[in-house]
Structure 1
């Protein structure tokens, strides 16, 4: 019996949901400290960029995307046009379109409100861990509970860290170099995700473009770097796939 057909009884919940929930929490537990630490960095960065405490709280609760927040903050501080800020955040978070496409076959049967909630709390590491556990789209007992066990603690860890960073931001001296700390935090999260030549090539191309286009106004060099890097990774992946099909 799968979660989709399991009757909503206490016995069913106890038998099917709790073990999967605990397994998801246990799997994601090692990453929670790093997620919280990165949240602190982003929380402090928001305050140091000139956002008020209510604005920073609203941003962390509504956006819940550290890379997009860090990309948007210097644009906000530079009074960049709103379309540039939104475009940059959207491009940086385009990877979540891929995540949604990967998760959709598993949970297409759920009501759209529930899918929207799961999409909001989804993160890079949690989606990757879920797909490692459930690579097949076939129904399985506890699949949804396992995903929730990954997502909700991850969300809570980020928000606790980010909110703590927001309130600590005014007490942190500027000479600590928070922009450098934010860069290190992103690198720590990015390195495990560079699994394969396409991703590595995309990162290298994006880095080169960001350096060459650093002089563009409104930080548009960042936007150009992300776009060119993504296209490069996609082209290399497509070429590799054609080579594999040709040579068996």
Structure 2
């Protein structure tokens, strides 16, 4: 694993940081919302900070908080968080061609750092679909600053929760921030198609328990994006032959 001092001066790492930090304002807004929600749901400040540092998954945190506040059994809380985070199984399959050769310890460390946005931005920056020099440094260059932004914003929300009234509607603000992040990633026909398919799948599967509609939506989006990319490659191949 590259050292932090080396990453600061590495061009691939700096490119990764630059690409991910474009989304820092939206990530920070979402982090503040999550931090405030943790304390408002009844967690103490130390427990909320511990949850932010160890879970590092805003959607899983927000899914489990109402259950914690309601005193639900621990297995129900774990099941809900696991179901929401099943999307990372899909994402890990996408990461495998690029990170599967690393030792297990490094893969585990990267699994903690890598979130949804990291994969999307990486695939946009390295569209070839194969392992190339500089990719690991690019990934770390983006993951570490993004982690710092999220944790800083989340902890700020935790510490300021006592002075931020619920009437401000931070949940809606967080939703708007995520919509802004999503729109910034819709750059071509494949991503627009995947987004529309995911939206339709999420609505169609809304009745599933434990927010499993999120997993269905992600699987549908990955399938749609893969099919679109395959069709585009086949078209380029045929055009090149003609």
TM-score, structure 1 as length reference: 0.76
User: Which of the pair has more CA radius of gyration?
Assistant: 1
Which residue number in structure 2 is paired with residue 173 of structure 1?
165
After TM superposition, give the deviation of residue 69 of structure 1 in Å.
1.1
Deviates more, 1:70-79 or 1:187-196: 187-196
Native 8 Å contact 1:202 1:230 kept in 2: yes
Comparing 55-64 with 220-229, greater Cα deviation is found at 220-229
1:217 equivalent in structure 2: none
Q: 1:203 aligns with which of 185, 199, 202?
A: 199
**Partner residue in 1 for 2:20:** 28
The counterpart of 1:61, out of the listed 40, 50, 53, is 53
Q: Which residue of 2 aligns with 1:82?
A: 74
Aligned residues: 230
Q: Any stretches of 5+ residues in structure 1 without a counterpart? A: 214-219
Once superposed, what is the RMSD of the aligned Cα atoms? 3.5
Give the SS at the match of 1:126: helix
Q: For the Cα contact (< 8 Å) 1:209–1:221, is it kept in 2?
A: no
Per-residue deviation, residues 94-133 of structure 1 (Å, max 9, x unmatched): 2222222222221222221111111111122222222222
- Following the alignment from structure 2 to structure 1, what is the Cα–Cα distance between the partners of residues 150 and 71? 27
Q: Which stretch shifts more, 152-161 or 65-74? A: 65-74
Query: Is 1:223–2:211 an aligned residue pair?
Result: yes
Of 126, 134, 153, which residue of structure 2 is paired with 1:161? 153
2:131 aligned counterpart, secondary structure: coil
Distance in 1 of aligned mates of 2:209 and 2:230: 31
**Is the CA contact 1:17–1:145 (under 8 Å) kept in the aligned structure 2?**
no
Q: Any unmatched runs of 5+ in structure 2?
A: none
Match of 1:46 in 2: 38
SS at match of 2:106: helix
1:171 is paired with a residue of what secondary structure?
coil
